[in-house]
Structure 1
Amino acid sequence: MTATRNTALEAWMKEHGHTGRSLARALNTAFERLTGKPGKFDDRSVRDWKSGRVQWPNAATRKAFEDVSGLPATALGFVPRVRTPSTPAPPQEDPDVKRRSLVEGIAAVAAAAAAPGTAGPRRIGMTDVERLQGEFARVIASDHRHGGQRTIERRAVALADAALNLQNAGSATQRVRNNLYAAAAAFRSSAMWAAIDGRRFGDAIAHMREAQALAELSGDQAIKFRIWSHAGTLYRHMGRPADALAANDVARNLHITRRDPMFASLGLARQMAIHGVAQDRNALRRTFDQAQAAMDRAVPDAYRPVWLNAFYDQAELHSLALSAYLSVGDHATAEYHAYQCLAALRPYMRRSRAIATSRLAHALLAQGETEAATATAMQVPADAATQHARVSRMLQEFGAALRATAPGSPTVQTWTEHTATWRATA
């Protein structure tokens, strides 16, 4: 059978500026962090993947790809091996199938934790950790598509519980136990983020406390950073800039920010958004420049966690600047950052695109461009407009501001009719 070229992997490499050598180096680093053994990938390995000669790498290689790219292996064009079927092959997987797959993954992990050993205590190893990490990558992907949903929050909590159940399921090395605590903390931090994104702040605080305790048990600097950085975002959305700065400072003072400029950049970018809420224009401008400089220093192919690779890039930096400048009422600058963000967003960032588009509509309306603002707001997909709490609120506020700016105008009528179609399809 003729091999089919992996055009998805080629496109991802081109988008991220990877040569065969740079991708191999990044994968070797990730592989060693996962297995404790040096990776042996080279140009030839990459050519085999791109040509389709190797369509489904082994589990450790796939996990290294997920850690480097922030995407599941299938999104990079790899095709699972299929046993000869006795029934017709199923159609291409859709989102509902993916959700069922995730639930089945939770059940598999929980069952593994509960199963008694046949000859003494069960041995828990890195294979169990890798299974959880694979589920974590799926939670991250689901969040970027849908964002803020209670289903994402519940899945993340269930997976955190599964990781903790494994602690009591048998014997394990300290390295494995630390990784299990880190996995549980990561899932709790995803539950926290889903609650923040859905504006369920009480739930987010409860998840935050659980995540912080688990992160301390793990000793994992990256997940500590994620949790405290999320805490800063939580307090920012709650309108508590002093608490937000204090929480974000905990993240920024972790030594991982000195080791990796990309973490330093994210900490600064979120600090910039907090300065916006605090109405500190001078600090806002200065912090954006610092965040950009740190990002420019970061090595493109360095090993980083899946959650960071999946979302933090130039588009997210502009998104946070957009939020900050809207907060201080500098709508022209906010508009600039909105266009920069939308131009740089990766295709799978559906939630982020809906948020940036809604913010752009606000920036345009505040400058008196009612027709352009309305046309922009109408580009937000119906599912995001009706099901994502943050987007829904921004569009409701947009409608109120539009009616106050141009009462009785044809533009208001157009907006009213458009939102009626959203409600009809909700």
Structure 2
Amino acid sequence: MDRRTFITVSTAAFVGAGAPATATPRRVGMADVALIQQRFSDVVASDHRHGGQRGIEMRAAALADEALVLQEAGTASQRVRASLYASAAGFRSSAMWAAIDGRRFGDASNHMREAQLLAEMSGDPAIKFRIWSHAGTMYRHLGRPAEAAAANDVARGLALARRDPMFASLGLARHAAIHAAAGDRAAARRSFGQAREALYRADVGEVRPVWLTAFYDAAEIDSLALSAYSLLGDWATAEAHGHRCLAGLRLHMVRSKAITTARLARAQLEQREVETAVDTAMGVPADAAAGHPRVSAMLAIFGDRLNQIAPGSSHTDTWQSHMVRVKV
């Protein structure tokens, strides 16, 4: 069914079920917004546990539509309507992120366009930042650093990013990774340093969106640095950031731990620490190794490099046997 048709039908059902056609329209208030936002928190939590799954993407997109259905369910103040548009934009940006994480970039682009429109209608600067920052990450993964920098610059140029050091820090850290994708080692190192300085200045007591506070901290900077220095071929520095990231990751960051572990294993392997690298890679949970598109791709590359670096070794045999069991 076409999405707009679905919304129209759902709205009619939502408003009409169990009530006469002449009934006074209900009043949609901040309590309705709070219920929607709680479901947004659930989507964010699910993403940190699993990440990249099409089910998360579809659920987030459906919840965006539900937020829009509420716009038509009754009367509401301008504040409530703006909050509902912000919620819909948040869900759509989560669908975008799940698609990016799952390597479904065409779907991610479609979600991005809808999210950007909804964010403009909401006037919420935080969700605008999230969407443009995600766009920068998407273009970086696509190997288009110039477009990645342009998108991330939009996020960094928002007044919110100039006012709040935590938003500024995230923008700088992601820009550092973009510099690395463009091959600019000095700019990457400088931006990572600036990102850390900004994070240290951030007021931990300030109220911020759950999507930001749930994941962004010093460990995330190390995660991005691990990725960046791996792209630059500086495997020793990448490994150091990988260890720091794993030491600082919060327990709910299950998806991030799997990604970091896979990247760390690659950094060790490229330094010819074959036994250590295989042990590290085998620490990636089986569900992520087999079911998370990005982790699966990383481990496939790890296996190819292992065959090139240590063909026929006992460690290579151990890894191959392990992956057979994982995929069963």
Same fold by TM (over 0.5)? yes
What amino acid maps onto 1:179 in structure 2?
A: S
Q: How does 1:239-318 map to 2 (within 5 A)?
A: 239-318=143-222
1:110 is displaced (CA, Å) by 9.8
CA distance in structure 2 between the aligned counterparts of 1:244 and 1:115, rounded to whole angstroms = 46
Alignment partner of 1:216 is 2:111:
no
Task: Give the match's secondary structure for 1:311.
Answer: coil
CA distance in structure 1 between the aligned counterparts of 2:268 and 2:11, rounded to whole angstroms = 49
Maintained 8 Å contact 2:262/2:281: yes
Maintained 8 Å contact 2:11/2:72: no
1:271 is displaced (CA, Å) by 0.4
CA RMSD of aligned residues (A): 1.5
Q: Which residue of structure 2 aligns with residue 407 of structure 1?
A: 311
What amino acid maps onto 1:200 in structure 2?
A: R
Alignment partner of 1:329 is 2:228:
no
With the length of structure 1 as denominator, give the TM-score of the two structures: 0.73
CA distance in structure 1 between the aligned counterparts of 2:43 and 2:273, rounded to whole angstroms = 38
With the length of structure 2 as denominator, give the TM-score of the two structures: 0.94
Q: How does 1:47-196 map to 2 (within 5 A)?
A: 115=17, 119-196=23-100
Alignment partner of 1:397 is 2:301:
yes
User: Measured at CA, do residues 270 and 109 of structure 1 come closer, stay the same or move farther in structure 2, by a change above 3 Å?
Assistant: farther
Q: Deviations over 1:177-220 (max 9, x none)?
A: 00000000000000000000000000000000000000000000
CA distance in structure 2 between the aligned counterparts of 1:204 and 1:331, rounded to whole angstroms = 30
- Uncovered stretches (5+) of structure 2, i.e. residues with no partner: 1-9
CA distance in structure 2 between the aligned counterparts of 1:109 and 1:322, rounded to whole angstroms = 46
Q: Which residue of structure 2 aligns with residue 351 of structure 1?
A: 255
What amino acid maps onto 1:341 in structure 2?
A: C
1:122 is displaced (CA, Å) by 1.4
Q: Which residue of structure 2 aligns with residue 231 of structure 1?
A: 135
Q: How does 1:20-35 map to 2 (within 5 A)?
A: none
User: Measured at CA, do residues 114 and 179 of structure 1 come closer, stay the same or move farther in structure 2, by a change above 3 Å?
Assistant: farther
CA distance in structure 1 between the aligned counterparts of 2:62 and 2:320, rounded to whole angstroms = 41
Task: Give the match's secondary structure for 2:214.
Answer: helix
What amino acid maps onto 2:290 in structure 1?
A: T
CA distance in structure 2 between the aligned counterparts of 1:124 and 1:294, rounded to whole angstroms = 39
1:112 is displaced (CA, Å) by 5.1
What amino acid maps onto 1:265 in structure 2?
A: S
Maintained 8 Å contact 2:36/2:67: yes
Identity of aligned residues (%): 64
CA distance in structure 1 between the aligned counterparts of 2:217 and 2:29, rounded to whole angstroms = 33
1:277 is displaced (CA, Å) by 0.8
- Uncovered stretches (5+) of structure 1, i.e. residues with no partner: 1-107
Q: Deviations over 1:348-388 (max 9, x none)?
A: 11100000000000100111101100100000000000000
Task: Give the match's secondary structure for 2:107.
Answer: helix
1:391 is displaced (CA, Å) by 0.2
| Segments ≥4 residues shifted beyond 2 Å | 108-119
Q: Deviations over 1:116-135 (max 9, x none)?
A: 76641111111110110000
Maintained 8 Å contact 1:114/1:169: no
CA distance in structure 1 between the aligned counterparts of 2:12 and 2:130, rounded to whole angstroms = 25
What amino acid maps onto 2:309 in structure 1?
A: T
What amino acid maps onto 2:82 in structure 1?
A: N
CA distance in structure 2 between the aligned counterparts of 1:393 and 1:262, rounded to whole angstroms = 31
Task: Give the match's secondary structure for 1:175.
Answer: helix
Determine which structure has the larger helix proportion and give its number: 2
Q: Which residue of structure 2 aligns with residue 200 of structure 1?
A: 104
CA distance in structure 2 between the aligned counterparts of 1:322 and 1:110, rounded to whole angstroms = 50
Q: What is the count of residue pairs matched by the alignment?
A: 317
User: Measured at CA, do residues 245 and 116 of structure 1 come closer, stay the same or move farther in structure 2, by a change above 3 Å?
Assistant: farther
